[in-house]
Structure 1
């Protein structure tokens, strides 16, 4: 945790303070000294964390205190900067921070005491030097920065724990659920048709059984090769030593002596020796637990491609390791999945009841046992370790319940479960510091919580975790961070849309337990009902309130005064918390440095005028609340980057918002979920004159323009950085003005336009140069015809039409869009009777939605069309009497769903006797849904 705090200060905060350090002579050099000292200390933090995990109690406690002091001094630097900026804002409320920099020296005179900033910096400098001096007594090893930003210690002692050895000697009872992946890997290894060298990667999170699977496969095939070797790779291996190990293991497997004086050979000689040895041989070598992304670059020349069927197996937690092999080799990748529940249950029972109850779980323990297995989420390491612990305990409900309820503390203290904590901790330790902060953030969410990716990355940005990169937005960089965490098998994708965009993510529950333990000292305090007050020794920078009384949690002003972020999940206490934060006097005293406030889905109905005093606030979410009005003081939040009002009752934004020049995301609408198939079911937000000054806006969704007038709509043309724009209630006469504005938005990726009613035409015909990067287009309302400019959108991946009343088949005008993945034609967007998909059309399309087309009678799908379609939804279309012809050609179709079709239509698809069954029999899932009272669907699965 200290590493993330130090890294944050060095990279983000110190440069800012240096820029401002003209306030007094010598302060600039003092800050530079602090930065350099912290940078040198940072190099030893990785080894310190390892010693804190492994040394005896006397050393461990001292090391943990040393690490804690580093975090504290880093926080003090952040405090100095934030308090100064806050002070400056209160003395120059109109000029703003940037405009006041030139008067910085003059402002210092007004500080009380006069040398407050300088004296605090001097004190920090002394503290940092004391910390550095104490480092020497613990003998920490220096870490070096890898190319991927991760760190590795210079000492060979870094391999303080090797969890893989346990996996090499598992009993048969502890190996279940590997038959299918084992057969797949053996098939790749023994494929005689592929004579070129092939790299086979087994990828999965720590403890998922990669080593176990690879070892079983290796043992079953190694004798079919001329030579074989199993290499366990350390996180900080030396290339020369690795090459020596490969040669020795090959020779050992064939009972041959290693080359003379091998230990004296240099890298080039070793590579030549290996190539010479393998020249005529068919070989297999396994590299177990590879961490370094470019590992393949260290071995590819030594393991030559002799066209004799050489095979290289790599087990890794990082998918990028596997991708790197593609540079010069044929590649197969097996993504190891969690055990399904039945296999997990079998493994659990094999271990815990091996000598009792004839290997079966007794009935009275079944419910609790299933809960414990569910907690493991199919992770073999966790199942085996926890089952092993339970096998030593009395087989009573009381003992089982105690473990279930205290699993978090047991992971930390029980030696039987040490392997879980250590293996999962390795993945965290290998992260570069900027990803450590991002990963720790998952611990702020409750257990089993599905996290919206868009919410998460905005929070990371607000926290300052995301670094700016040339030619990329912060949001794009944050998505790269998230993708890397997924590639490292730390984060699981719960939902990905048809365009491959991440929607929902989560982390394994046991991995979350490790995260929570790592972050509790200084990153975040979770209030979950297990304690009523904050611990005095904990530095509280972030609060995640899950379940507790806010009044008791926040009663210690000294503790909450350092809080930067509130994330609230305790809806029952939401109004209590808000009332406390905004008590006059309390806000300025205790929460003046708050940067992040998230009350999503909280049942609050108002927000206090005092919110304007949260000068540092960057993120404010009132999504899903009952708040109806924002105070005018919202205009004082000049550092605000995200204002999320979706599904709140806010319909009008105060004019003062025009001052928020850093605002990147303005999200607001309210959708009436009780109304279906109505163009007016969604209400947008209204903006007032001057909103064109919000030039940093990336997303504006959804803006109600019905009463704005031409002059106000023209202000949209000033928002040239927009990536996503949603327009509501567009009147026909303003279509041309909107089109001219859209043409100026060169970076626009997503556009939605909705008419005032299903009779008011959307007129965007005048657009001749639409944004070339547009990927998603949604037009909701009547169209005279399909706009010609749509044909120019070569990057378009999704398009949707609703209430368009098109008479001509729109498919003909869309057929040449090469990257279209998702097509929706809904709510009488087309009023003709037939849609025809000709051969060769839409080769990349994944989803097709033809809904509420009342006049549609026939859908014809020619062979060779929609060849990659995975999901098809049709109906209600009362005129359609037959299952669309051509569905039998859609070999990749996974899901077919019809809506409100007749009983005869339904019967025609039945497996027994259905006349159209042969058309749909290849589809894994076919269902039909019927509208019931309230507009909800009741769905029946046919097969």
Structure 2
């Protein structure tokens, strides 16, 4: 697994050599030489990583790979140390500046000399490593074929067992089996493609094989073929196997002739054989999205034969590549539900001893183990099989549960899980490997904010630049790729369907932790692992604190960690932050979200390399002035901390991309409100900013002068806007061509938001939140074709806003909170064709009637009506909303509530088709809930 470290170091060295013209004499030459030597190593390392995962490397080669990893870390250290020493040189000009610079150079001469010497030593080490590699025959490795390295070690593909599982041994197979069989036998007479998609170990091969062997399926088709494709398929070999499998009458001489054919000739031979036949071919374990583009040429498409192709894959992109087929289906396999997972586990773990039933004394432990498997059949079956051989006593099972992670890495009977799941990891390009390992930093079952994850990836330098795209856009593509590969699960979607939070399967997290420890990528400090130790001599790069032990300081002393994360609820030792900031000068990432942090230490300004700083949801109230020295900072996240005012030194952070700065002000009885933050004049120099929210507008006209310069903003939130500021804000908004999210809040509830003067609004705007009084509806909003989410609060419009909004082609969420002073809201036929969520909060106004025409709101899923004292009837036409799954009435009158409640022997009338109905009657706060009526 040295490939990712070497690539990462190369990515660091190249820009350094291109951009740093003032490198010490001799260092540039040595660094270029190191770069050349690393480039020589690159072609072999990926090949070795894959073979190491299959257990094909002997100990000598493993030691060589370990040395490559160690020297990669040394290079990264010396690069960061050099940049730090160079940055500390004073930048003063003139005669006095000359003496400052000379004095500094004298003081730093030895450290710089030491760095130059270390670079020379590293060069010598790499040359030795390359020479030692030649002794293993690396120079003659056939990167696409076999090698002598570890050739005597047999490779047993653990996926092979999936082909020979009896249907009676499988649970939860009936529904997907029947669906696939119906797709095979019925539907279009044209050639059809069926893709079975899911993460490794979820049962794709097992399902496909059971369907393939079904007697009805066998009888329906003239010829059949099962082809295992795998990651490193060769076109010619796949075609030859297909011909031999389909044509049982192939002679030995015909096989010899095929060896002499090229790909085109083999395709023609295969087409000739299949012409006029109804065939079914299963391509199992396809990884490359280009595969279908190649193989479809060998499969004739007769309109009257109804031939079928089945593809199993872990990657959505592979399934999507087949969409051009006229008859096309995708079956997405999901983890087993808890009941089925438990049934399968008991079948395996207690088959011989207890007839498939769990004894009471092991029930809790067994359920915890099954929960760790998260419905993954491979893990359930394998772990159940291992436990079936163990004595059925609590102590043994408890030890197994506690050490499951290490068991995956060491227990020969569990290595199949590791190998199968690791295949997806090793198939990733190196940049995605690093990003994927990042999930191991977070606690088990942790649902991670996608925005937070992307900002962390960028701060760590894991995202490669791509011409024409921002780093954030490239990182979003990385995350989408990981999701498509079934490596990352989406746990929450945003209002427009984009992933909002994500996580990894617990079994994959265990694999990540094993790989991370080997690479020195990260270590977890927890009650089960209280020490912070290096792995194979590697300096661990990241520390994730998951517990409240007082051993943190002792653990991190002497290390060269780059990132620290805290997921603790209790206090860290008092001197922790001071020592951390003053002694670990190479830190790049500090994420203390939700940590027990009361203040930010002045020493934080010494962290020249720091690129990400989060004190979100902490009790910090003031930022130190030294924050201005963090010139490499990309993200400063103060969201929901108690920081009210930013120091003027913030204006020095010219590389800052994300400034998240609103806080939550408590009013009384635990209730509070979101408040913007005061920022000082001159912040317009932060021209790299993409996110700025929320800032206060009522400190002077210079606020808008600063905003006018921030033309790269994607997200802007501004509070305490006065009526006279409207024209200035409109001018600002017109210049923000990239703006996607805009929130504007007035100074007080009755303050007018004067936003009529926008002639050309940002065309990419997706989210709009206006909080304040509107004299009339801003017509420019109705021209925003990319708007997905709109919220109006306190608007008190005298004209109906619906005609302006109903034609927005992408609007999926609408919130009207005291937005309209009229008595009637009429959703007319054909309006709001994409809307999924609608919230109406009237705030004691005049609304007494809601009408929904047939054909309006066709895809509405959630409707909320709150605080509407004049509303006495259920919205007319609500029965037309066939996709409505949730209806909420909050703070409504007793009269309306009675009409909603079921009487004895009666149903809910016009809302009986809605699965979930929630009723809350003002002012008692009593709740009537109906689920699955």
- Shorter-chain TM band: over 0.9
Scaled by the length of structure 1, what TM-score is found? 0.92
The CA distance in 1 between the partners of 2:507 and 2:166, in whole Å, is 24
Contact 1:670 1:684 in 2 (8 A): yes
Instruction: Provide closer, same or farther for how the CA distance between residues 142 and 194 of structure 1 changes in structure 2, counting only shifts above 3 A.
Output: farther
Which of 682, 685, 708 is equivalent to 2:677? 685
The CA distance in 1 between the partners of 2:258 and 2:745, in whole Å, is 74
How far did 1:164 drift?
A: 2.1
Contact 2:662 2:694 in 1 (8 A): yes
Instruction: Provide closer, same or farther for how the CA distance between residues 362 and 914 of structure 1 changes in structure 2, counting only shifts above 3 A.
Output: same
| Structural mapping, 1:687-702, within 5 Å | 687-702=679-694
Which of 597, 622, 627 is equivalent to 1:634? 627
The CA distance in 2 between the partners of 1:878 and 1:611, in whole Å, is 54
Please state whether the residue corresponding to 1:120 is helix, strand or coil.
helix
**Residue aligning to 1:2:** 2
Which of 712, 724, 730 is equivalent to 1:721? 712
Instruction: Provide, for residues 226-278 of structure 1, a one-character-per-residue CA deviation record: whole Å limited to 9, x for no partner.
Output: 11100011211110111111111111399999667222211111011111112
**Residue aligning to 2:62:** 64
**Residue aligning to 2:264:** 268
Please state whether the residue corresponding to 2:399 is helix, strand or coil.
helix
**Residue aligning to 1:212:** 206
**Residue aligning to 2:532:** 534
Which of 844, 868, 872 is equivalent to 1:877? 868
How far did 1:871 drift?
A: 1.6
Instruction: Provide closer, same or farther for how the CA distance between residues 932 and 206 of structure 1 changes in structure 2, counting only shifts above 3 A.
Output: farther
Contact 1:197 1:309 in 2 (8 A): yes
**Residue aligning to 1:147:** none
**Residue aligning to 2:743:** 752
How far did 1:549 drift?
A: 3.0
How far did 1:363 drift?
A: 1.9
**Residue aligning to 2:820:** 830
Contact 2:840 2:866 in 1 (8 A): yes
Which of 586, 609, 613 is equivalent to 1:620? 613
| 2:486 paired with 1:489 | yes
**Residue aligning to 1:789:** 780
The CA distance in 2 between the partners of 1:284 and 1:809, in whole Å, is 59
**Residue aligning to 1:418:** 415
Please state whether the residue corresponding to 2:390 is helix, strand or coil.
coil
Answer with 526-535 or 135-144: which moved more. Answer: 135-144
Please state whether the residue corresponding to 1:325 is helix, strand or coil.
coil
**Residue aligning to 1:844:** 834
Contact 1:909 1:916 in 2 (8 A): no
**Residue aligning to 1:664:** 657
How far did 1:803 drift?
A: 0.8
Answer with 612-621 or 534-543: which moved more. Answer: 534-543
The CA distance in 2 between the partners of 1:741 and 1:939, in whole Å, is 47
Instruction: Provide, for residues 481-523 of structure 1, a one-character-per-residue CA deviation record: whole Å limited to 9, x for no partner.
Output: 0110011111000000230121110001111111001011311
**Residue aligning to 1:350:** 347
| Structural mapping, 1:4-19, within 5 Å | 4-19=4-19
Contact 1:799 1:822 in 2 (8 A): yes
| Structural mapping, 1:151-166, within 5 Å | 160-166=155-161
How far did 1:804 drift?
A: 0.7
Instruction: Provide, for residues 835-894 of structure 1, a one-character-per-residue CA deviation record: whole Å limited to 9, x for no partner.
Output: 111111111111111124533222111111111122221223222222212222122222
Instruction: Provide closer, same or farther for how the CA distance between residues 729 and 379 of structure 1 changes in structure 2, counting only shifts above 3 A.
Output: same
Instruction: Provide closer, same or farther for how the CA distance between residues 519 and 773 of structure 1 changes in structure 2, counting only shifts above 3 A.
Output: same
Which of 570, 573, 583 is equivalent to 1:572? 570
How far did 1:224 drift?
A: 0.9
Q: Count residues with an aligned counterpart.
A: 917
How far did 1:698 drift?
A: 0.2
Please state whether the residue corresponding to 1:777 is helix, strand or coil.
strand
The CA distance in 1 between the partners of 2:201 and 2:719, in whole Å, is 50
**Residue aligning to 1:923:** 914
Which of 232, 243, 250 is equivalent to 1:236? 232
How far did 1:614 drift?
A: 0.8
The CA distance in 1 between the partners of 2:181 and 2:668, in whole Å, is 55
How far did 1:4 drift?
A: 1.6
The CA distance in 2 between the partners of 1:675 and 1:830, in whole Å, is 29
Answer with 767-776 or 122-131: which moved more. Answer: 122-131
How far did 1:189 drift?
A: 1.1
Instruction: Provide closer, same or farther for how the CA distance between residues 664 and 8 of structure 1 changes in structure 2, counting only shifts above 3 A.
Output: same
Please state whether the residue corresponding to 1:415 is helix, strand or coil.
coil
The CA distance in 2 between the partners of 1:323 and 1:233, in whole Å, is 18
Instruction: Provide, for residues 410-434 of structure 1, a one-character-per-residue CA deviation record: whole Å limited to 9, x for no partner.
Output: 1111122111111111111111000
How far did 1:300 drift?
A: 1.3
| 2:404 paired with 1:407 | yes
**Residue aligning to 1:185:** 180
How far did 1:726 drift?
A: 0.5
How far did 1:446 drift?
A: 0.8
Please state whether the residue corresponding to 2:302 is helix, strand or coil.
coil
The CA distance in 2 between the partners of 1:482 and 1:782, in whole Å, is 40
Instruction: Provide closer, same or farther for how the CA distance between residues 620 and 573 of structure 1 changes in structure 2, counting only shifts above 3 A.
Output: same
Contact 2:543 2:565 in 1 (8 A): yes
Contact 1:141 1:153 in 2 (8 A): no
**Residue aligning to 1:28:** 28
Instruction: Provide closer, same or farther for how the CA distance between residues 219 and 433 of structure 1 changes in structure 2, counting only shifts above 3 A.
Output: same
| 2:543 paired with 1:543 | yes
The CA distance in 1 between the partners of 2:607 and 2:451, in whole Å, is 24
Instruction: Provide closer, same or farther for how the CA distance between residues 250 and 408 of structure 1 changes in structure 2, counting only shifts above 3 A.
Output: same
Instruction: Provide closer, same or farther for how the CA distance between residues 529 and 915 of structure 1 changes in structure 2, counting only shifts above 3 A.
Output: closer
Please state whether the residue corresponding to 1:753 is helix, strand or coil.
strand
The CA distance in 2 between the partners of 1:272 and 1:587, in whole Å, is 68
Please state whether the residue corresponding to 1:703 is helix, strand or coil.
strand
Please state whether the residue corresponding to 1:84 is helix, strand or coil.
helix
**Residue aligning to 2:697:** 705
Instruction: Provide, for residues 462-488 of structure 1, a one-character-per-residue CA deviation record: whole Å limited to 9, x for no partner.
Output: 000011112211111111101100111
The CA distance in 2 between the partners of 1:640 and 1:924, in whole Å, is 48
Contact 2:616 2:640 in 1 (8 A): yes
The CA distance in 2 between the partners of 1:596 and 1:496, in whole Å, is 27
Instruction: Provide closer, same or farther for how the CA distance between residues 591 and 309 of structure 1 changes in structure 2, counting only shifts above 3 A.
Output: same
The CA distance in 1 between the partners of 2:26 and 2:647, in whole Å, is 45
Contact 2:642 2:664 in 1 (8 A): no
**Residue aligning to 2:808:** 817
**Residue aligning to 1:42:** 42
The CA distance in 2 between the partners of 1:869 and 1:172, in whole Å, is 41
Instruction: Provide closer, same or farther for how the CA distance between residues 551 and 351 of structure 1 changes in structure 2, counting only shifts above 3 A.
Output: closer
Contact 2:548 2:572 in 1 (8 A): no
Instruction: Provide, for residues 804-823 of structure 1, a one-character-per-residue CA deviation record: whole Å limited to 9, x for no partner.
Output: 11122110111221111111
Contact 1:909 1:915 in 2 (8 A): no
The CA distance in 2 between the partners of 1:140 and 1:114, in whole Å, is 36
Contact 2:571 2:596 in 1 (8 A): no
The CA distance in 1 between the partners of 2:468 and 2:159, in whole Å, is 42
For structure 1, the 5+ residue unaligned runs are: 145-150
Contact 1:750 1:775 in 2 (8 A): yes
Instruction: Provide, for residues 702-729 of structure 1, a one-character-per-residue CA deviation record: whole Å limited to 9, x for no partner.
Output: 11122x1123322111110000000111
| Structural mapping, 1:298-697, within 5 Å | 298-307=294-303, 308-328=305-325, 330-521=327-518, 522-535=520-533, 537-554=537-554, 557-559=557-559, 562-574=560-572, 576=574, 579-583=575-579, 587-588=581-582, 590-672=583-665, 681-697=673-689
Contact 1:411 1:421 in 2 (8 A): yes
The CA distance in 1 between the partners of 2:256 and 2:195, in whole Å, is 33
CA RMSD of aligned residues (A): 2.9
Instruction: Provide closer, same or farther for how the CA distance between residues 113 and 567 of structure 1 changes in structure 2, counting only shifts above 3 A.
Output: closer
Scaled by the length of structure 2, what TM-score is found? 0.93
How far did 1:824 drift?
A: 0.8
Please state whether the residue corresponding to 1:713 is helix, strand or coil.
helix
The CA distance in 1 between the partners of 2:249 and 2:481, in whole Å, is 37
| 2:731 paired with 1:740 | yes
